[in-house]
Amino acid sequence: MAALGAYRCIECNEEATELYRDYQRGVLRISICKSCQKPVDKYIEYDPVIILINAVLCKAQAYRHILFNTKINIHGKLCIFCLLCEAYLRWLQLQDSSQNTDPDDLIRYAKEWDFYRMFGIASLEQTSFFIGIFITLWWMIPEMLKRKSDFILLLKALLLSTYGKLLLIPAVIWEHDYTPLCLAFIKVFVLISNSQAIRVTLNLNRILPWFAVFFGLILENGVVCLFQKMGWDV
């Protein structure tokens, strides 16, 4: 796998030294891949909205453009915001199940503490999900994750691919009878995005990324069961 910062052809995943050549006086020409003879990255001419739509459609080319040919450093912020969205949803469901309307300060403090607890649980579940993925990939293809740069790149790809959790907020705001079904679809969409991120980052077939996601999901559900046995609402 190439070092961090190397360009990649979005079509065949081969390394490239440049995305375009500047001939000055406003004349630019997109570089052509030496391997597949196609433009290295056609998305550099596209509007960001078009790129986002292609990413939502889980197109490998859009993922390669975002992961290899752009400088995006919002991985940590996006992860925290997604966890806050998930924690808020769980906290809201917990409040709906509670019939206590006492306005006492102690009750309000307890409700606030519940939100922090939900955030911590969501963080641990996502961490266990990622650990399950890394364990599976390290066991199946250890040569892919030998270098620290490879590990960091895959982690960033996984963090970015959780952007689908942002849809949790609109699902809660526009609550209706189909909300549980919407939440299930959002979960499936995030898992598909995770699988595509693994596939693009490590240049794998479709089966192995899904196997890694499945094992990560098992580990995550194991953590959920542990919390439930402890008597915690998750």
* pTM, entire model: 0.84
pLDDT tens sequence across 97-151: 555 555 554 455 556 788 888 899 999 999 999 999 999 999 998 887 778 888 8
pLDDT tens sequence across 134-145: 999 999 988 877
pLDDT tens sequence across 16-62: 888 888 777 667 888 999 889 999 999 998 999 999 999 999 999 99
> What are the start-end ranges of the H helices in the chain?
48-56, 60-68, 75-97, 105-140, 148-160, 168-173, 179-202, 207-229
Cα–Cα distance measured from residue 92 to residue 87, given in angstroms and rounded to the nearest whole number: 8
Q: What's the whole-number mean pLDDT along residues 63-89?
A: 89
Residue 36 near residue 47, CB atoms below 8 Å: no
Task: Give me the residues paired with residue 22 across strands.
Answer: 28
